[in-house]
Structure 1
Amino acid sequence: MSKMHVKFTLNGQDVEGLAEPRTLLIHFLRETLNVTGPHIGCETSHCGACTVDMDGKSVKSCTVFVGQADGRQITTVEGLTNADGSLGVIQEMFREHHGLQCGFCTPGMITRAHRLLQENPNPTEEEVRFGIAGNLCRCTGYQNIVKAILASAEQLNAMKEAAE
């Protein structure tokens, strides 16, 4: 099968490569670009471990062909760190509030939380639970994940107010 050329912006950097048209974005990220934050879980879109942000929307990268990412803006959990490489607010709140155990779901959960808080900067607990419903965690019971996201919202809102 012939390969296609793809080019997109990944975490603020232009990237490109060759891939078969049937290659899924998750495989291109991990195997071609060595971006291993998004995890391969179920490969059926049920678990959310592969969640990335594409042009301002949460997508499960196991359901996107790499050709569909051509020309797009993609953000993975790696792109949510601060410019100096330190943990971003959501990542730090997950650490501080113990929003992880085994860590397998964490990159997708954090990436989804980022988009959720972009869409709704001040969510209720119920809205957070609904907003992350497409991302499964088998360890935590979600309580600390929800606490981490609510704490992230509070922190981000305080930072926004301080900047104004």
Structure 2
Amino acid sequence: MNEETKILWINFLKGLTRSLVQANLYKSDHPQVVEALDQTLSALAAISASGEINITLDGGKLLADGAEFLPADKVPNSIKNVFAKFQAQTVTFKAGVTREELLAFCGAQALRTDPYEHLKEKGVTGIIPAKSVYAKVEAGDGKAAIKPGAGTQAGGGGGADGA
């Protein structure tokens, strides 16, 4: 991962951390929340030129689109808590995520209800926590692309048809 890409990822993770904290401290229209969400969405837009990004917490490491990025002990607790709440291994952020989707995602960690059901009720389709993932290596490039696997909550669908 080159230095420019690392900076983009750092900005995204800082924004996401701030959004998670602010969204659970203040009401959704509070200026701090709006600013944090906008910062995260701006960073996401800069890094998701390929359509989506994936963050994975596995084996004591945080992976950014399949590449080792941080040891788990350096990952902010608010991000670790999201993985724990969703019992997820990977979270996919699609390009074009809305402020409302990001707010619903950030708010899910404070709920006592099923976080997947919360995302479904809020119509969140641009952020997909997945319990399992697989790596797909494209012929010739040697790079792994993390894709949601067939976990019980992968893609938000519960049935064989993905609905």
TM-score, with length taken from structure 2:
0.29
Highest RCO, 1 vs 2 (Cα 8 Å, sep ≥ 6)? 1
More strand by share: 2
Structure with higher Rg: it is 1
TM-score, with length taken from structure 1:
0.28
